[in-house]
Amino acid sequence: MAERTNRYYHLDLINDHCDGKYDMPVIRRQDVRPTEILLPFNLARTCKRKDVGVHFFLDDYQFERVWRRPGKYIEMLAQFPFVLSPGFSLYTDMPLAMKMWNNWRRQFVAEYWQRNGLTVVPTVMWAEERTFQFCFDGIEPGGTIAVSTQGPAMSKRGREFWKKGMREAMRRLNPTTILHYGKPLDFDFGDTNVVYFDNIILKQIRP
């Protein structure tokens, strides 16, 4: 295969440590101390505060660049205590293959960053029930994960999908801590430590 094609798909960077039927890259369990605020990635370069975690709960176009050049952002992100894996979208109206591809891209960037010294919290995402066949693969159970209700909270159908997926995530991943971004929904997390982040607070951050 041509060298340029290898670089385009990052085939030269893929680690053999994959998991599941679809070879999702593995994100190692890393316990983190939650910060007061989660900073959106698009403010990370200019924000003077470095005592915050970095999230990617943004429109995809604002962080597509981390897929194209994942190594470029390692030095910048290393200034922060931890970073969430980039949340490439899994919309219910996407073809299943696109959802699998976006899930693979999220896992790949997270694994690559971990391999290069960053502390990465896996962002766990799902859509309808058939995405459960791959969306939890490669996430080592028993650590800290991040979830968001930012989109699902907007509709009854979205809330139902979210709760069903959250129950599956709890069963498969058995997290010790959940970083929860967005509006809380009526859900029983049991004894798991849940840290809530309100996206309105982020408007108070100034670079």
For residue range 74-108, list pLDDT tens digits in order.
999 999 999 999 999 999 999 999 999 999 999 99
Backbone angles phi, psi at 96, to 5 degrees: -60, -35
pLDDT digits (tens, 9 = 90+) for 161-177: 999 999 999 999 999 99
pLDDT over threshold 60, residue 17: yes
- Could you give the angle at the alpha carbon of 160 between the alpha carbons of 202 and 173, nearest 5°? 75
- CA 10 and chain centroid, separation: 19
Backbone angles phi, psi at 124, to 5 degrees: -95, 125
pLDDT over threshold 80, residue 143: yes
Which among 104, 105, 188, 192 has a CA at the least distance from the CA of 144?
192
**pTM for the full predicted model:** 0.93
- How far, CA to CA in Å, does 194 sit from each of 77, 94, 111, 178? 24, 30, 24, 5
91-122: b or e for each residue (b if 16 or more CB lie within 10 Å)? eeeeeeeebbebbbbbbbbbbbbbeeebbbbb
